[in-house]
Structures are given as C-alpha cells and as structure tokens.
Amino acid sequence: MSPLDASTIAQAIAALAAVLLLAWGAARLARQRGLVTTTPGRLAIRAACPLDARRRLVLIACDGREALLLTGPGGDQFLGWLPAP
C-alpha cells in the first residue's frame, strides 16, 4: 500500500471537515454568547502628521474620545485627550 491511497485521502478530508466544523461551531457560539463582536474596533487612527524624519503626531479615537500621541525613536508619548466638540 502506498501512503497516499484512497482511504488515507478520505480520512484526511474527513478530519479536515470535522476540524472546520468544530471551529465554525465554536466561533458561532462565541458570537452568540457575546464573547466576540463583529462591530469595528474601539480604537482607530484618525490622522497622522509627520513632524520631521523621525517623529510623528498621531490623532487616535478610543470609545468616542480623541487623543494625541507623539511617536518617535525615543519612545511614544501620550499628550492628552482632546476636549469634546
């Protein structure tokens, strides 16, 4: 018998189908229980402005609020929350 006979291939396909079915069921159950949401993330980059060749000012939004970050080779700094409009 060769290692790739018909029964071996059928077993491999059946095992793959079983794993995919289990993964689909687990994902569906997680969504139903509220463990996973399909809504967009709560953190988003609104704009980025390069200050020079190494530093950048980044405007982010998190939970409906906006904040400024300064990124660069010396590390990232949180500059603060912007006032609500």
Q: What is the pLDDT of residues 11-48, one digit of tens each?
A: 999 999 999 999 999 989 888 887 766 666 678 899 99
Q: What is the pTM of this model?
A: 0.51
**81 touches 67 (CB < 8 A):** yes
Q: Give the H/E segment covering residue 59.
A: strand 56-62
What is the DSSP code (8-state) at residue 63?
A: T
Q: What is d(CA 65, CA 17) in angstroms, rounded to the nearest whole number?
A: 44
- The C-alpha angle with vertex 29 and arms to 26 and 34, in degrees rounded to 5, equals 125
Q: Which residue has the higher pLDDT, 58 or 33?
A: 58
